[in-house]
């Protein structure tokens, strides 16, 4: 169980470093850019059973991409449980990566 948590944490760190927006300001060494609050944010949740919820409503994995496009999402807040099987997180992150969304990853213990 502990090794699985370490692997999930490592996976999250690797994905987050891939999605970090780098600052274009050459005078500073900032690694992160503030997220523009005027951009359209959408919430995607993956529960412990692997069910995906978009804006609080259950949705199939195949429908997620079109739902995000239809809602004109620019930023996706991804809520996942820390103990979730990493395969489900990878599948959802893969969909988000293809759509070139900015991702905010939030985890919880419950």
**What are the domain boundaries of the chain?**
2-22+33-108
pLDDT tens digits, one per residue of 74-87: 888 888 888 887 78
Which fold, 2-22+33-108?
Answer: Nucleotidyltransferase; domain 5 (3.30.420)
pLDDT value, residue 96: 87
50: left (phi over 0), alpha (psi -120 to 50) or beta: left
Q: Which residues of the chain carry a pLDDT beneath 70?
A: 1-2, 10-11, 14-38, 109-110
Phi, psi for 70 (deg, rounded to 5): -60, -40
């Amino acid at each position: 169980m502990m090794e699985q948590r370490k692997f999930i944490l490592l996976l999250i760190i690797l994905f987050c470093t891939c999605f970090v927006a780098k600052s274009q300001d050459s005078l500073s060494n900032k690694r992160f850019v503030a997220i523009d609050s005027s951009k359209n944010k959408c919430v995607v949740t993956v529960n412990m059973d692997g069910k995906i919820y978009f804006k609080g409503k259950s949705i199939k994995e195949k429908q997620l991409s079109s739902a995000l496009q239809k809602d004109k999402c620019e930023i996706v807040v991804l809520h996942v449980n820390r103990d979730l099987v990493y395969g489900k997180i990878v599948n959802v992150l893969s969909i988000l990566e293809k759509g070139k969304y900015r991702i905010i990853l939030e985890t919880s213990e419950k």
